[in-house]
Amino acid sequence: MPALNTSKKTPRLDMNPMTDLAFLLVTFFMLTTTFKTEEPLQVQLPFSQVQVKLPETDIMTISFGPDERVFFGVDGKFTREKMLDLMGKHYGLSFSPAQVQTFGLISSIGVPVVQLPELLDLPPSERRELEQPGIPMDSLTNELNDWIVFARIANPKIRVVLNGDQQTAYPLVRNIMNLLVENNITRFNLITELEGGEL
């Protein structure tokens, strides 16, 4: 019986599918990642032992620091643009398309409404350097209340998150909470750090 002549071939590994998969993963992460925007107010968060995840969308953030400056922001470009339009009509201000576009990209603001056009006209580098005085919320000009009302009109599903510094005086926190209750907002989240130092 004659012996079979089997030629030995070296195994060949096709790397094309692996390359395709790598590029698909890179593309997926590039398209689904949302980058954190730079906040104009840096806060040192208080500690807690509760671990509840914050919602990822439809968020209204009220930030306040130990110097009692208050900042306001909402997520969603179209929500911000609609809210700006409502605020402009309420205060008799008109915003250019470029200003509306810029406002749609800003994460939060901390200036009185009359100073908003000047802030939006600044280049991004100067806007980051500018120290914003905070949104007025005293008894004469309670602009924070108007921002809250128009944000809820722009997005009825919006949820409130308080982002406050641990050194903030209690009367300011109480005033903000009272303002929320006056607007029938009785459920809101407080951003804290876990006792162990993790977020």
Per-residue pLDDT tens digits for 116-144? 999 999 998 898 888 899 999 887 889 99
Judge if pTM exceeds 0.85.
no
The CA distance from 170 to 166, in Å, is 10
In terms of residue numbers, what domain contains 176?
49-194
Inside any domain, residue 7: no
Inside any domain, residue 176: yes
Q: Which ranges of the chain have pLDDT less than 50?
A: 199
Inside any domain, residue 30: no
**Run of H or E including 71:** strand 70-74
Q: What is the pLDDT at residue 10?
A: 75
Inside any domain, residue 34: no
Give, to the nearest 10 degrees, the angle between helix 143-154 and helix 170-182: 40
**pLDDT tens track for 77-101:** 999 999 999 999 999 999 999 999 9
